[in-house]
Amino acid sequence: MSTIKVRAKESKGIVTVKAIIKHPMETGQRKNGKTGEKIPAHFIQQVIGKANGSEVITINWGPAVSKNPYVTFAYMGSKGDTVELTWEDNQGNKDSKEGKVK
């Protein structure tokens, strides 16, 4: 099951991509309420957006981004393009999702 929900829509030659990524985004600063121990840092470090195989955006994040982050970006494109969003976190986990522009 993918952790990414992605939608892309074209209007007047501009494609707007909107996505939400399901991820805990732990900063490493919070403590477990029962044990008092710090919860280890677990956050997305990089998100890459591609259109028809070409990279159109690279986003570098740190631990300050909220849980289940929302991403939006735009590029010049057209209906039928294939968009792909990929993320990688600080623990080596990765996910990717493709969608078609409507």
Q: pLDDT by residue (tens digit) across 31-88?
A: 999 999 999 999 999 999 999 999 999 999 999 999 999 999 999 999 999 999 999 9
Q: Does residue 28 carry a pLDDT above 90?
A: yes
The confidence band for 2, taking pLDDT boundaries of 50, 70 and 90, is confident
Residue type at 80 in one-letter notation: G
Sole residue written with tokens 């399901």: 22
> For residue 74, how far is the Cα from the chain centroid?
14
Indicate the number of domains in the chain.
Answer: 1
- How far is residue 10 from each of residues 19, 80, 92, measured CA to CA in Å? 15, 9, 33
Query: Domain containing 51 — which CATH number?
Result: 2.60.40.10
Structure tokens at 68: 């289940």
Q: Does residue 1 carry a pLDDT above 80?
A: no
In 3D, which of 70, 53, 68 has the Cα closest to residue 6? 70
Domain that holds residue 50: 4-100
| pLDDT tens string 64-79 | 999 999 999 999 999 9
How many other CB atoms are found less than 10 A from the CB of residue 32?
Answer: 9
For residues 62 and 97, give the distance between their C-alpha atoms in angstroms, rounded to a whole number: 21
